Amino acid sequence: MQEAIRTLKNWLAESDNIVFFGGAGVSTESGIPDFRSVDGLYNQKWKYPPETILSASFFARNPEEYYRFHREKLVIDGVKPNRAHLRLAELEAEGKLRAVITQNIDGLHQAAGSKNVLELHGSILRAHCARCRKPYSAERMNHGTGLPRCDCGGVIRPDIVLYEEPLDEDVMGRAIHYIRQAEVLIIGGTSLNVYPAAGLVRYYRGQRLALVNLSETPYDSFADLVIHEKIGEVFSQI
Ligand code: OAD
């Protein structure tokens, strides 16, 4: 495996057109559980399956229960970027990395200093009224009690993409653009199970696709380099 990490390090040294595409596994070393690992969110007991709670129709029907889940499971206080987030921010500052494309909603890439972050699934650090779309700070939504309401009477919701909702076309279009143009594409900490995000992999046209993920993914055979190790540990060596 050291050999693979050395290869990745060389690729990074030789390129100024690196793109990163990641998911929940990027933040587990910061203390945020992922969705599909054995101790992930989807394997915990809850009254409804989390995919159901995180859906638009459930939010409309049962916003109180949504907020119970949101505040207990999605909002984790005191989390900090880990070595993967920090190294990615460094690579961008060095003019080598063009974009971070993430499925995460935790804002940790920006906290690490990354500037060009494409949030495919939005962010729990922003909020807006579900009825009139007025923007709100996330404070009351994430840390208050009861249903956060807008002046218009609508329910305030997080700026995240719930199941049954389409991804933002502009963000998706830019993600496709960066991946198509990338010389080195690193994909990390994602099971590549959730579409349309996972389908982004297919837009890559180069020969330097590195996949850094603890477990196997459906795209392992598609990658030029596969590293099944913790991403923070790998990034501290590259
Ligand atoms: P998953 O939970 O499906 O996958 C996380 C992957 O990261 C797993 O394959 C783990 O093996 C791997 N992993 C965990 N810790 C790691 C570490 N320290 N280093 C390397 N790999 C690690 O999460 P996502 O693929 O991000 O969507 O899930 C995609 C979407 O499903 C999420 O954005 C969310 C969820 O439903 C919405 O909420 C819309």
> 35-90 pLDDT, tens per residue?
888 777 777 778 888 889 999 999 999 999 999 999 999 999 999 999 999 999 99
Between CA 168 and CA 110 the distance in angstroms is 19
State the pLDDT at residue 57: 98
State the pLDDT at residue 45: 75
Decide yes or no: CATH 3.40.50.10140 for domain 1-31+81-121+166-238: no
- φ and ψ at 214, to 5 degrees? -60, -45
- The answer to whether residues 199 and 112 touch, using CB atoms and an 8 Å cutoff, is no
**Topology of the domain covering 33-75+126-160:** SIR2/SIRT2 'Small Domain' (3.30.1600)
Between CA 116 and CA 100 the distance in angstroms is 6
Q: Which of 85, 121, 143, 228 is catalytic?
A: 121
Residue with tokens 């030029």: 224
Residue of 44, 119, 191 with the most ligand 1 atoms within 8 Å of its CB, for mutation = 191
121 carries an active-site annotation: yes
Q: Give every residue of the chain whose pLDDT is below 70, as ranges.
A: 1
Same fold, 1-31+81-121+166-238 and 33-75+126-160: no
Domain residue spans of the chain? 1-31+81-121+166-238, 33-75+126-160
Nearest CA to ligand 1 atom 29: 194
What the block records as the tokens of 41 is 């969110």
Q: Which H or E element spans position 219?
A: none
Between CA 124 and CA 56 the distance in angstroms is 15
> 168-181 pLDDT, tens per residue?
999 999 999 999 99
Distance from Cα 149 to the centre of ligand 1, integer Å: 31
- Spell out which residues line ligand 1, taking CB within 6 angstroms: 23-25, 28-29, 34-37, 40, 54, 103, 121, 161, 189-191, 193-194, 213-215, 230-232
* Angle at alpha carbon of residue 43, lines to 122 and 212, rounded to 5°: 60
